[in-house]
């Protein structure tokens, strides 16, 4: 019966209604998605780990706070040695209260990191965390194929989908209620799962019609959502596999973890590990984290606990 329900979940489309009764059921296999990056194929045979490299002076993390190439290389080297599958480079912090960063400054920051990575680890899969289409386009032109990780889901720059389409770049489609970089909020829906699913479904359809075949979906934990809403999304993460895309969970040191525990982000590693474990149990294909080694341990322990789930059904997207 569980297998029948799992197949049903993987093939039913356009589910926008509340599907909480599915949450406690685990599929007997993981779907193996494939993402094309230039002439390469990134296969999600097992859950992947994406290491966050924030080239920003105001990040809560100590990573690359000076925005210097030597520091970037040290951080990236450590992440790759710890087992990172993807390196995610960002030069504009979107945490609440973060300072505005001009396009020129953002480019200066991320280009340092991209240049360092490409010159030393040319085969590393890199994603660029930006909502600006001009930065995405220039980065692809100068540094080759990249995954574009857009926290705004295309809302903050109307040209982003066009750039991604022309470049045939993989795209991380994220839900946020912030309708501007200054975090102006859009109204919340009555059911956060239905709201997020509808948003992702509508934007995914637009991307597919523009020829963007390789899309990763991210429900956007904490992005304009309450702690309770974020945990609802975590409990019901399985639902988003109805979109037939790899599913990214970005939970690392988020406010949904440290606020209810009354701790700081720097103290939230254990909470992050717990949340990442739950995300894997509910179908996450990619964990976006600050602490790569610990996340890789989570993936390995999960594999040992549920080896049957690692029997993959292959699907190319």
Catalytically annotated residues? 254, 288
Side-by-side strand order, sheet with 86-90: 215-218, 171-174, 147-150, 125-129, 86-90, 48-54, 286-289, 248-249
Contact between 289 and 79 (Cβ < 8 Å): no
The dihedral formed by the CA atoms of 230, 91, 73 and 253, expressed in degrees to the nearest 10: -20
| Token couple for 111 | 């280009």
List of residues 6+ apart from 134 with CB closer than 8 A: 103, 159
SS3 of 218, please? Answer: strand
SS3 of 271, please? Answer: helix
In angstroms, how far apart are the furthest CA atoms of the chain? 55
The dihedral formed by the CA atoms of 86, 92, 98 and 104, expressed in degrees to the nearest 10: 170
Q: State the burial class of residue 26 (Cβ atoms within 10 Å of its Cβ: 0-12, 13-18, 19+).
A: middle
Long-range contacts of 160-163 (CB under 8 A, 24+ apart): 160/131, 160/132, 160/133, 160/136, 161/206, 161/207, 161/210, 161/212, 162/133, 162/210, 163/133, 163/136, 163/137
| Token couple for 178 | 């912030």
| Token couple for 68 | 């210097």
| Token couple for 130 | 């930006």
């Amino acid at each position: 019966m569980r297998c029948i329900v799992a197949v049903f979940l993987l093939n039913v489309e356009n589910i926008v209604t509340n599907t909480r009764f599915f949450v406690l059921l685990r599929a007997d296999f993981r779907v193996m998605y494939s993402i094309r990056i230039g002439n390469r194929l990134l296969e999600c045979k097992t859950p992947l780990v994406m290491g966050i490299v924030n080239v920003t002076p105001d990040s809560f993390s100590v990573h690359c706070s000076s925005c210097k190439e030597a520091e970037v290389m040290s951080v990236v080297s450590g992440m790759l040695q710890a087992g990172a599958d993807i390196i995610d480079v960002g030069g504009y912090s979107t945490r609440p209260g973060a300072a505005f960063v001009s396009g020129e400054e953002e480019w200066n920051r991320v280009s340092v990191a991209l240049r360092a990575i490409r010159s030393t680890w040319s085969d590393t899969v890199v994603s660029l965390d930006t909502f600006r289409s001009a930065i995405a386009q220039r980065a692809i032109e100068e540094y080759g194929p990249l995954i574009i990780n857009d926290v705004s889901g295309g809302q903050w720059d109307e040209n982003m989908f066009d750039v991604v389409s022309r470049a045939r770049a993989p795209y991380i489609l994220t839900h946020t209620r912030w309708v501007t970089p200054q975090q102006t909020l859009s109204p919340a829906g009555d059911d956060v799962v239905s709201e997020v699913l509808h948003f992702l479904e509508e934007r995914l359809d637009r991307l597919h019609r523009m020829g963007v075949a390789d899309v990763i979906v991210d429900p956007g934990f904490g992005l304009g959502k309450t702690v309770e809403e974020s945990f609802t999304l975590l409990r019901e993460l399985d639902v988003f596999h109805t979109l037939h895309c790899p599913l990214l969970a970005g939970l690392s040191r988020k406010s949904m973890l440290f606020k209810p525990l009354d701790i700081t982000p720097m103290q939230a590693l254990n909470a992050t590990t717990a949340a990442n474990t739950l995300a894997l149990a509910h179908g996450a294909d990619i964990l976006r984290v600050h602490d790569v080694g610990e996340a890789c341990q989570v993936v390995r322990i999960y594999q040992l606990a549920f080896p049957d789930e690692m029997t993959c059904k292959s699907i190319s997207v």
